[in-house]
Amino acid sequence: MANMSLKKNPMPSQEPDVRNKNFNEVALGYTKEQALDEAQRCLHCKNKPCMQGCPVMVHIPDFIEKVAAGEFEEAYQIISNTSALPAVCGRVCPQESQCEKYCVRGVKGEPVGIGRLERFVADWHNANCTEAPAKPASNGHKVAIIGSGPAGLTCAGDLARKGYEVTVFEALHLAGGVLVYGIPEFRLPKSIVQKEVDGLKALGVKVETDMVIGRVLSIDELLEEYGFEAVFIGSGAGLPMFMHIPGENLCGVYSANEFLTRINLMKAYKPDSSTPIQHGKRVAVVGGGNVAMDAARCAKRLGADVHIVYRRGKEELPARAEEVEHAEEEGIIFDLLTNPVEIKGDDKGDVCGMTCIRMELGEPDASGRRRPVEIPGSEFTLDVDCVIMALGTSPNPLIKSTTKGLEINKKGGIIVNEDGLTSRENVYAGGDAVTGAATVILAMGAGKTAAKAIDEKLSAK
Amino acid sequence: MYRIVRREALRPTVTLLEIEAPLIAKKAKPGQFIILRVDEDGERIPLTIYNADPAKGTVTIIFQIVGATTEKLNHKKEGEFLQDFVGPLGKATEIEGRKKVCVVGGGVGCAIAYPVTKAFHDAGAEVHAVIGFKNKDLVILEDDFRAASDVLKVMTDDGSYGEHGLVTDALKALIEEGNTYDEVFAIGPMMMMKFVSLTTKPYGLKTVVSMSPIMIDGTGMCGGCRISVGGETKFACVDGPDFDGHQVDWDLAVKRGGMYKEFERHAHEETCNLFKQEVK
């Protein structure tokens, strides 16, 4: 008999007033008992509606059935058949707009905690199974992957499991892409990313760090001189955007990318780090997406009073509801319907304030959201000494400019067909390099699609 | 890991390292830079390429000890390894089409000025070079410059070697003598590049400077290296490092360059103390 509780088992978490002072993981994960109880809430619908919400098509009811039976390793095998990064997805996927959105239990009450169960299964596997997966026999085909973020790692994993000889090229010194430089430790511990990368290495995937493709090697060289039969571009979102307002280049104005990279990749939050970061006392984070929430929560943990400055209202915040909630609990102040006009600097060139203007919502714009309009004469100064711009990114032109015949759209994203194939034969792409800034799981879905297309193309040779 | 095949102390605080990096050596062009990390958990620092030898598969850098990371780098011996060595980054300096140029190098910036000088020279341009140092003890690469230039002026701030004065004095004198240049190329401390740009501006001489701001990834991802050029924000790592010296907002660049001075001074002292303890 199913567990008919209308509520999900709540996620055990660090208390807000404790966690906003440390970088340890916020959510602590289900216990075995909680996982067994939550798994009982699944009704095992015949048509599996939850699966249509999953970009990598995890067989959700099947793995939950194994959890309910206490067969956690079997559950893990079901997830990892289609997902290269279970422990990551269980933490950072927006389940509320994917699998859980379609869960029948959500019609009356809360959906099954699919993400929480996925996380439990993956963590159980990582804690209890030390056996490395067997390396499949090589099929003799070589594939190059550019970028070791979620798109690249997924594509690499899917191909490696089929026996392809996969090499992943990463520009930074550590594999993981946005999972290591962008998403903070307290949402996604770096040891978990490392485990996932090690798992791929055990499958035979080679990871070459310090390789900026487009500079040290071109895509044409990979195809013509290095014997790769296909290339997948998963190079990520690219260059941070700014507002083009006065004072944006003052000391103490960061892009969210830089701020998060200093903290996450370069460990600037640790006292013995060799990478400096400004410890602002009053920080404004401009923007309302998940990256803005991450930057704000990091700044809070470094000891600042933090304001989120966003030009629309709370309803319009693009960040996940859960992230907004976490940020609010941790004491982040939301200055909504507020837009920066100018950043002010002192004579040393340091930030000493930000002039903002109040906004109101007008008619809906092209995106369907109500357009923010300035309220004349409502300017005021926010007393801050550090400003972080979290406004999104524009694609990096490096690969486009060094790859002949690679077509891009008006926004600079690489153009692909439904299989992830670009305008160049044997060159595929996916993730933020194609779509602009999006989510980890969408990038993984794109990596998966391309892996399938590459396999079909090369195995027919 | 990247092996150090040659180490040479050019001066007490200026060191040359030749690093095994065959792929970078094949691609590197004058004006481009690399980013390195000395060890795990180390800081990422950009350094411009002094020389690349595709046949040997090596890339040579010259650096001055200014902070904790360069201090650690200076303690690396031949045969030891660097954790990371990434490149070549940035756009190469434009060499083609110049008939007569003046290259101005200041201090350890001469390590970067030299490959550009040589490239102009090899491309058939008439090259005048002005190199400046604080004093005699810091003079580097004089013979290299002599071989790659038609006119060479060596300047020291205190007059202990070459001519007494600043590089801008020599540059101004060359211009006043009637030399016109298709381009003046300056690389060195920010203040020097600023004053070279101010010197050439009244004469309307095109002036290119090689900027080296603070950066992390070197691929455009962080935006930390942004500078203001002609009122527009540019990323030095992907749009540069070469920019029109007459358009650069120098005051802003100087301020941004000093953003972490306090942290760096402290870290440098700590590192020096560590090495002192090891020696004991």
Tens digit of each residue's pLDDT, chain A (461 residues): 688 899 999 999 999 999 999 999 999 999 999 999 999 999 999 999 999 999 889 999 999 999 999 999 999 999 988 888 899 999 988 898 899 999 999 999 999 999 999 999 999 999 998 777 788 999 999 999 999 999 999 999 999 999 999 999 999 999 999 999 999 999 999 999 999 899 899 999 999 999 999 999 999 999 999 999 999 999 998 899 999 999 999 999 999 999 999 999 998 888 888 888 888 899 999 999 999 999 999 999 999 999 999 999 999 999 988 899 999 999 999 999 999 999 999 998 999 999 999 999 988 888 787 889 999 999 999 999 999 999 998 888 889 889 999 999 998 899 999 999 999 999 999 999 998 888 888 999 999 999 999 999 999 87
Same domain, A338 and A218: no
Q: What is the pLDDT of residue B266?
A: 79
Chain A residues touching residue B235 (CB < 8 angstroms) = 239
Q: What is the pLDDT of residue B280?
A: 46
Same domain, A345 and A360: yes
CA distance A191 to A91: 13
pTM exceeds 0.90: yes
Q: What is the pLDDT of residue B242?
A: 96
Same domain, A379 and A427: no
Same domain, A301 and A379: yes
Write the pLDDT tens digit of every residue in B3-22: 999 999 998 889 999 999 99
- Residue A179 sits at φ, ψ, to 5 deg, of -65, -25
Same domain, A438 and A365: no
Helix axes A150-161, A440-459, angle to 10 degrees: 30
Alpha helices (H) in B33-160, listed in sequence order: 68-74, 110-122, 142-148
Q: Pick B223's closest partner by Cβ from A250, A258, A265.
A: A258
Same domain, A320 and A353: yes
- Chain A nearest CA to B67, separation (Å): 11
- Which amino acid appears at position B272 of this protein? C
A162's tokens: 């089929």
Q: Pick A217's closest partner by Cβ from B23, B251, B252.
A: B23
In a domain, A2, yes or no: no
Sequence-separated (6 or more) residues with CB below 8 Å from residue A384:
A280, A282, A283, A284, A307, A351, A353, A354
Chain B residues touching residue A266 (CB < 8 angstroms) = 43-44, 216
In a domain, A402, yes or no: yes
In a domain, A133, yes or no: no
Which parts of chain B register pLDDT below 50?
A: 280
The CATH number of the domain holding residue A23 is: 1.10.1060.10
Are the beta carbons of A240 and B83 separated by less than 8 Å?
no
CA distance B209 to B246: 9
In the listed set A337, A368, A391, which residue is the last one of a domain according to the structure? A391
CA distance A263 to A273: 10
Beta bridge mates, B227: B234
Same domain, A369 and A420: no
Sequence-separated (6 or more) residues with CB below 8 Å from residue A131:
none
Structural domain total, chain A? 3
Q: What is the pLDDT of residue A276?
A: 85
CA distance A49 to A98: 10
CA distance B240 to B208: 11
In a domain, A87, yes or no: yes
Write the pLDDT tens digit of every residue in B199-250: 999 999 999 999 988 889 999 999 999 999 999 999 999 999 999 999 999 9
Residues on chain B bordering chain A, Cβ-to-Cβ distance under 8 angstroms = 23-24, 27, 37, 41-44, 68-69, 83-89, 216-224, 226-228, 233, 235, 238, 249, 251-252, 255-256, 258-260, 263-264, 267
Same domain, A246 and A382: yes
Q: What is the mean pLDDT of chain A?
A: 93
Q: What is the pLDDT of residue B162?
A: 94
Q: What is the pLDDT of residue A116?
A: 96
Q: Is the ipTM value over 0.85, yes or no?
A: yes
The CATH number of the domain holding residue A422 is: 3.50.50.60
Q: What is the pLDDT of residue A285?
A: 98
Kindly tell me the burial class for residue A59, based on how many C-beta atoms sit within 10 Å of its own C-beta (0-12, 13-18, 19 or more): middle
Q: What is the pLDDT of residue B122?
A: 96
Same domain, A189 and A289: no
In a domain, A6, yes or no: no
In the listed set A391, A412, A434, which residue is the last one of a domain according to the structure? A391
In the listed set A128, A151, A173, which residue is the last one of a domain according to the structure? A128
Same domain, A276 and A381: yes
- Chain B nearest CA to A459, separation (Å): 31
In a domain, A137, yes or no: no
Q: Pick B69's closest partner by Cβ from A267, A274, A398.
A: A274
- Residue B111 sits at φ, ψ, to 5 deg, of -60, -25
Same domain, A282 and A380: yes
Domain that holds residue A410: 142-238+394-458
Same domain, A219 and A278: no
In a domain, A1, yes or no: no
Residue in B257, B232, B143, B183 with CA at minimum distance from that of residue B31: B183
Q: What number of residues does chain B have?
A: 280
Q: How far is CA A145 from CA A204, A222, A223, B188, in A?
A: 14, 10, 12, 38
Q: What is the pLDDT of residue A1?
A: 64
- Residue A363 sits at φ, ψ, to 5 deg, of -70, 155
Q: What is the pLDDT of residue A280?
A: 87
In a domain, A261, yes or no: yes
- Chain B nearest CA to A396, separation (Å): 7
Chain A residues touching residue B218 (CB < 8 angstroms) = 212
Q: Pick B68's closest partner by Cβ from A211, A265, A274.
A: A274
Residue in A435, A389, A442 with CA at minimum distance from that of residue A412: A435
CA distance A317 to A288: 5
